[in-house]
Structure 1
Amino acid sequence: MRTILISGLLGLSTVGICLGIGGAPPTPEGSSDAVDAAIERGVDWLLAAQGIDGSWRTYAPHRRPAGVTALGVFTLLKCGLPAEHPAVRKGLAFVFAREPSGTYTASISLMVLAALGPEHPLAERADDLREYLLDNMEHAGWGYPSNSKGEDPAYSDNSNTQYALLALDAAVRLEGKVSQAEWADAGEALLGRQRSDGGWAYQARRDSTAAMTAASVASVQLCLNHILPKGKGKKVHGRLEEARALGLAWLAKHASVGENTMLGKADEDRTKWQLYWLYALERVGSFLEVSEVGELEWYQEGSKALLKEQEESGRWTAGYLAEVNTCFALLFLRQGSRHGAASTPRSRAARASGDAPLVVLAGDGHPKRLWIQAASDALAQHVAGDGAVECVEWLINGKAVARVNPEGDVARHPFALEHTFPGNGTYQVRAVMHLLDTHRRSAGELNSDEITLVVDEVFTGRDEQVLLDLGKSVLPIHDATITTSSTSRWTLPSAVADGLCACQWRAANDDLTPWVRIDFERAVRASSLKLAPAWQVGEAHDFLARPKEVEISLGKGRTVRVTLPDLGRAKHEIPFKKTSIKSLEVRVLSTWPGKGSKVVGLAEVELFQ
């Protein structure tokens, strides 16, 4: 068996042998180990909160189903997940399977495309989104296009406006055209809404708030970045500079990371929008490239507050939807408004203890790359005595998967293994180095500690099927009347037919045979039904009970009764003879027991032709 002497390949030192370098990836300025750990926990929670169809929960699934999902994808990209990550792929598919519905969704979708870059296949959608936003611009900015209420003659607000301008800036980075006149009109809208105290409010007739002032200062800066200070743009450019200075002065006087200062508002209103405010503050700091706003060291103080407020699960709540708040917190900590932040890869590389004879590292991405980073003095002594290394044996979950000989580019990644894992989950990895004496006989072994490796990058066949299902259900979710046998707290019957698997309905704890009935105004033809079970964020797939025996009533006495396998969160498909359906009832007759709760429910009911 061919062997190579370690002493011929590696440098020795009095503290051990360095077999490679597993350097940490570059991180945003001002970050720390505690911040990096908080980001990792937040990302893990966000991944766990994603529905199997790629969606995240929203307050308005029928009117704006994709807005929060677009924000979730944008956050994951800014936190370093690659476009190929299953969560990103599914989220992108969910967002772009439908037409934009409103300023927020269109804007964040365009920001997502800029984060992906011009080479991504979806980048061709950028022009349509840019035109949608420009077509919906009012003289006073942007608002909810379907909302006729608010200021006369058109509804608009500084929150919608800030996202539209972030999106138009993203469009320009994708080589889209936004004219000088359009930027000037946006600047005039911001100038017209600034209050006499120098701040901005949600709408002109309200009091100034920290969140809206920071958002508007950042929006003003975007306009300044694009308006040339000459010709017709010279006058508005100068006025915008004055407005920016007044806005910064307001923030210097009122800003506090602990609350969204809202003049004249109750304390609960101030804390409800705290994370929205911090993300707006991050944009001010990043766009203006300043470390202080007034005397406030915005990143240091904001990071301290966010680390303190992060829940054990990894999420942030602060009185609003946890999915949205967690995105805002992560974007602040990651300093996501810096254009280059998305190119910084996420690091969750596991590392074995430095006290073990061998130190093992695992890289990001999939397939996973495993290698020996360092070894103890025991190896140095063995090599000094003219010993050799036969191979390194890699074990995953206690089973040997490969033996790697010391050849190839060993000086860079010695004994490296590239391994494709069969699925997502948690794996235990260990390395064993087999030694040879001077006569090339076995001379014992050196072992690493086990490292716990979390794999979440595997795109499965079930994931692929979910993407194929998007937009194909014929169940008329906008014309459906839904009734249920019971409902648990914090869930809604309407969630079973809202087009999002992230929203869900659960039966009451004492409902032993729960059912859901869906009536349509007009009949639809279908030949199969798919059920997605309810699930608990942050828990194993078997935490809640899952449907086992179910009875499907298709109306007019037509009934299908089946026993479902335990597929965890995966969808179940129930085929039947193609028929016309105007009412549908799903009754759960028995369940697979949950390890944490006996409650059962459904995330989505779909019909397919």
Structure 2
Amino acid sequence: MLTVGLKLGWVLGATCAGFFPAQRDVLARWVLIPANHKSGQVVPVEGDWALPCAAPTFLGKGKSAALLRPLGHPVLIVPQKIAAEDLPQEACSIEAWAAVDVYTGWGGFFSALEDNGNAETGLMLGTRNDQFAFGVSSEGADDGDGKMKYLESKEPFELGRWYHVVGTYDGVTQRIYVDGKLQGQSLEQHGAIKYLPEHTVAVGGYVDSNESYPLTGALHEVSLHDVCLSGKTIQRRYRKLRGSLPVGEGRTFTVVPLREKMPLPEMQTGINLAIDRGVQNLLREQLWDGSWEQQANPYRNGPTGLALYTLLRCGLKADHPAVVMAIQFLKAAPPTRVYSAGCQLLALGATGDPAHRAWAEELVSLLLEWENNARPGSWGYPSDNADLSCTQYAALGFWGAAQLGVEIDIKVWRRMIERVMKSQPSVVEVPWFQIEGEQRSGKRRIAGFTYHEGGEQRDATGTMTTAGLCVLQIPNMLEGRKLGATAMRAVDAGRVLGMAWLAHYYPMDGHPRVGNNLYYYLYGLERVGAYMAVNEIGGNPWYQDGAMTILKRQKGQGAWGSTSDTSFALLFLRRASAATQTGDAVERTVKAYSDDQADVFLYATGDAQMTMWLEGFSGERRDLYQGADRSWEGLRVDQVIYLVDDKEIARVKGNKRVPWAYERFAVRQAIIKPGPHTLQAHVLLVPPNGDPEVGSQTDTIKSGVLDIVTVDMPEEWMAGNLEVQGVNLLEGAVAKASASSTWESGDFGPENAVDSMARTRWRASVDDKQPWIKVEVSRRLQANTLVIYQGPAKLKSRSEYAAILKIEVRVNGLSLREVDLSPDIMQPIVVDLGESLGIRSIELRVLAREENTKPVGLSGIQLQERL
């Protein structure tokens, strides 16, 4: 244990100007320069707490140098824990000269604390998001296990800039100073500082027993005092070093310079792969009715419109089954929200199909009906107060419609420009960042955009600033000077201020001013880059940086989170708003397998539907059937048998009376279960000494065993769903559903199977041994076809249900027939009822099911009258 000096006799309530025993003024002071790094540690200039620090990197020279703390470097920690009595007792000051390169939720310059849930003790000085923070826990405010007050500076700090930050506490008042100015104070804490018996002391980080948040940036000096420094003393200390500390090469101290980043061409392969995997994920998330289910209530058409637009911009063709089904879903009902209408119009515009123009005109009329009467030129949800987020999606919808030749009244654009400028309420002056090759001094004017007009309730954010810029630039791209001088002046002024704001708050991630959705922001940034035709923002390559940010966040199955997050990420990577997209259009390729080591060569290709064939025979095998002394020549194939997992799945007849002439004996077969399998061919040949004209003797030769991996192919699955589409007579009918049981938690009632929505399902109880579901209608329906969709409504949910293998169909209380269902749970089952029946009730009883611990269920029951 370390001990320092005398114990204080402190009078509670004394001010910073009061008496402080000189011998206990500075407990520890570290000046982080090369001269103070000795034998692998930073030696304090006052106090005894050395900091182990291997292979440090310093910026600058002499007494004004600084220690760099690059991303990922550990916190500097005093090796032994420090006893509470050796820390400040009745008053304290923590002082730091620091520069921060990355915004984080928490960061520290100095900490000796414990913050676990409601148990909060000790003290710290550091950062919280984009503001400096000084934390203290006191005996007077103790709620039983300690209560910390994190006092924040009232103004946000800028990255890559030196600050002098000081936190003081005198037993009554807690204060925080930035560059000599008081930035906040609080009377919440009072009395002696509350500690645990001992604490970890850290410099350049926020550290307790289960958390460690290192500083990324630079440190010059950190000191801990057990007195409360006065405001005048703090101002004097600030002036002493102001302007003397080293400057980084770029806008921050430890950020990777542009010239050291991976060149974009070298990133392209990774970008293309990420796009392919992301598209695959979106397709596996699509439901059998063509929709996507994220927030489908109340945004029925929104997620589907956004996902469809994304797939089209990623290169899927208009005749792709997923596209066809999605458009059918959107046609079935109009959108009821601005977001939904905007996304749907973007998708229609991306098809480029003139046949959709009339449909787009209807949606534009709907958007115009929803324009806010109290604030013309803006939109809400639509019934709520107008906001910039909804307004931008109205503008994007108009943009999509314009791609099909729909004209938007120029008065609408003028109203939107005038209104959006009210969401850019405050202009501030900030220092110019130094950009390589440019020499600028003084201040620049910036102004971001806010969610509500005038900055009501919320400050400017990156998401809303990109939204505001798009609302300004879309009419400018479509109408130009036809907008008139007043509107054009507003567009020009708003663009300059907004782009300056984006440059000032540029970082891709971690910045609290980005907004609450990184991918939403990045897609907005992509639109700004495309609409403004800029490759750099504030001297930064926005696409390159954004792509790196997105690539490292892609999850194992190709997603970035929700359907909307994945869509926004893909739209950014694909540069969907630009005239020319990044990379090649997505190609839905399949795997290929082959073996030519055995007597017969087996080839196969596919992912779910496997095509397999014989590529040939070995020379040794063919030679057995050649020779001048033979009565017949050439291999004679009687049959080819294909086996998956040692079980026959297909048999192809040959003609043993004629020589083999490179026939492939190809067969296409579905492999029901996705995953790893073995594939082999057995070929029955007439023996070399046999007679192909008479007799049945054959030799069996075997191919090598192929290890194959099959996956669900969304194209084939959705094409199958497309084939069974028809008018569902239950839709619009008054139907009542009942069932043998219902899953205990969640909304899985039997009515979900007949509501015409794939996203809702009936799920039986897992211990229901004889599940059944019954549907009764108020009026007789004439139908000759029953269509059944099992529980999983999308490929990604395949494993959540047990497959139903056999059912009994009962119509109007009478048993009609027993039906074997496909062993593939994802395939819709079409039951031909024979002649057209007048149906008042239909009941499905499960007779056989897959043996596992999962429940059975249905996501759709349809009655159709087919010709």
Per the TM superposition, whether the score is higher than 0.5 is yes
Q: Distance in 2 between matches of 1:592 and 1:602?
A: 13
Q: Structure 1 residue 328 and structure 2 residue 568: aligned? A: yes
Q: Structure 1 residue 51 and structure 2 residue 287: aligned? A: yes
Q: CA deviation at 1:524?
A: 6.6
Structure 2 counterpart of 1:249:
500
Q: Distance in 2 between matches of 1:515 and 1:201?
A: 54
Higher mean Cα deviation, 132-141 or 173-182?
132-141
- Report Cα offsets for 1:170-224 as digits up to 9, x if no partner: 2222222112212111212212333326333333333133212212212211122
Q: Distance in 1 between matches of 2:736 and 2:353?
A: 40
Helix, strand or coil at the partner of 1:243: helix
Contact 1:52 1:569 in 2 (8 A): no
Q: Distance in 1 between matches of 2:390 and 2:525?
A: 16
Structure 1 counterpart of 2:378:
141
- Pick from 396, 407, 431: which aligns with 1:177? 407
Amino acid at match of 2:758: C
Q: Structure 1 residue 274 and structure 2 residue 518: aligned? A: yes
Q: Structure 1 residue 81 and structure 2 residue 311: aligned? A: no
Distance 1:44 1:159, change over 3 A: same
Distance 1:342 1:299, change over 3 A: closer
Aligned positions of 1:330-349 closer than 5 A: 330-341=570-581, 344-349=584-589
Aligned positions of 1:151-170 closer than 5 A: 151=385, 156-170=386-400
- Pick from 804, 810, 827: which aligns with 1:570? 827
Q: CA RMSD, aligned part only?
A: 4.8
Structure 1 counterpart of 2:857:
601
Q: CA deviation at 1:510?
A: 4.1
- Report Cα offsets for 1:306-355 as digits up to 9, x if no partner: 222211111121xxxx22221111111111111443995223556889xx
Structure 1 counterpart of 2:351:
116
Q: Distance in 2 between matches of 1:424 and 1:243?
A: 58
Q: CA deviation at 1:473?
A: 4.0
Structure 2 counterpart of 1:266:
none
Greater strand content: 2
Q: Distance in 1 between matches of 2:390 and 2:285?
A: 25
Q: Distance in 1 between matches of 2:558 and 2:801?
A: 21
Q: Distance in 2 between matches of 1:482 and 1:400?
A: 45
- Pick from 366, 375, 397: which aligns with 1:132? 366
Contact 1:58 1:65 in 2 (8 A): no
Structure 2 counterpart of 1:189:
419
Structure 2 counterpart of 1:311:
555
Q: CA deviation at 1:93?
A: 1.7
Structure 1 counterpart of 2:188:
none
Amino acid at match of 2:484: G
Structure 1 counterpart of 2:485:
234
Q: CA deviation at 1:303?
A: 1.9
Structure 2 counterpart of 1:485:
741
Q: CA deviation at 1:482?
A: 8.1
Say how many residue pairs are matched.
495
Contact 1:316 1:325 in 2 (8 A): yes
Which structure's CA Rg is the greater one?
2
Structure 1 counterpart of 2:270:
34
Distance 1:551 1:253, change over 3 A: farther
- Report Cα offsets for 1:501-542 as digits up to 9, x if no partner: 24444445444445667788x657354653311228555957
- Pick from 528, 541, 544: which aligns with 1:284? 528
Structure 1 counterpart of 2:449:
200
Aligned positions of 1:374-389 closer than 5 A: none
TM-score by length of 2: 0.49
Structure 2 counterpart of 1:300:
544
Amino acid at match of 1:127: E
Q: Structure 1 residue 218 and structure 2 residue 475: aligned? A: no
Higher mean Cα deviation, 477-486 or 215-224?
477-486
Contact 2:275 2:586 in 1 (8 A): no
Aligned positions of 1:463-478 closer than 5 A: 463-469=721-727, 472-476=728-732
- Report Cα offsets for 1:350-389 as digits up to 9, x if no partner: 6889xx99xx9x99xx9x9xxxxxxxxxxxxxxxxxxxxx
Q: Distance in 2 between matches of 1:594 and 1:246?
A: 65
Consecutive unaligned residues of structure 2, counting only runs of 5 or more, are: 1-263, 428-446, 598-602, 612-639, 644-649, 653-663, 680-705
Q: Distance in 1 between matches of 2:320 and 2:754?
A: 27
Contact 1:214 1:281 in 2 (8 A): yes
- Report Cα offsets for 1:139-185 as digits up to 9, x if no partner: 1422234x3xx33xxxx222222122112122222222112212111
Contact 1:544 1:594 in 2 (8 A): no
Contact 1:530 1:605 in 2 (8 A): yes
Amino acid at match of 1:304: M
Q: CA deviation at 1:122?
A: 3.4
Q: Distance in 1 between matches of 2:846 and 2:274?
A: 42
Contact 1:193 1:200 in 2 (8 A): yes
Distance 1:259 1:608, change over 3 A: farther
Contact 1:552 1:559 in 2 (8 A): yes
Q: Distance in 2 between matches of 1:143 and 1:71?
A: 19
Amino acid at match of 1:54: G
Q: CA deviation at 1:489?
A: 6.1
Percent of aligned pairs sharing the same letter: 27
Contact 2:284 2:714 in 1 (8 A): no
Q: CA deviation at 1:102?
A: 2.7
Q: CA deviation at 1:463?
A: 3.3
- Report Cα offsets for 1:213-272 as digits up to 9, x if no partner: 212212211122234336x62111111221222222333333443257459xxxxxx55x
- Report Cα offsets for 1:559-584 as digits up to 9, x if no partner: 77744412532333454832346xx7
Q: Distance in 1 between matches of 2:671 and 2:303?
A: 24
Structure 2 counterpart of 1:496:
753
Contact 2:288 2:793 in 1 (8 A): no
Q: Distance in 2 between matches of 1:195 and 1:480?
A: 55
Contact 1:488 1:509 in 2 (8 A): no
Consecutive unaligned residues of structure 1, counting only runs of 5 or more, are: 1-27, 264-269, 369-394, 402-416, 430-448
Of structures 1 and 2, the one scoring higher in RCO (CA 8 A, sep 6+) is: 1
Distance 1:186 1:498, change over 3 A: farther
Q: Distance in 1 between matches of 2:768 and 2:540?
A: 53
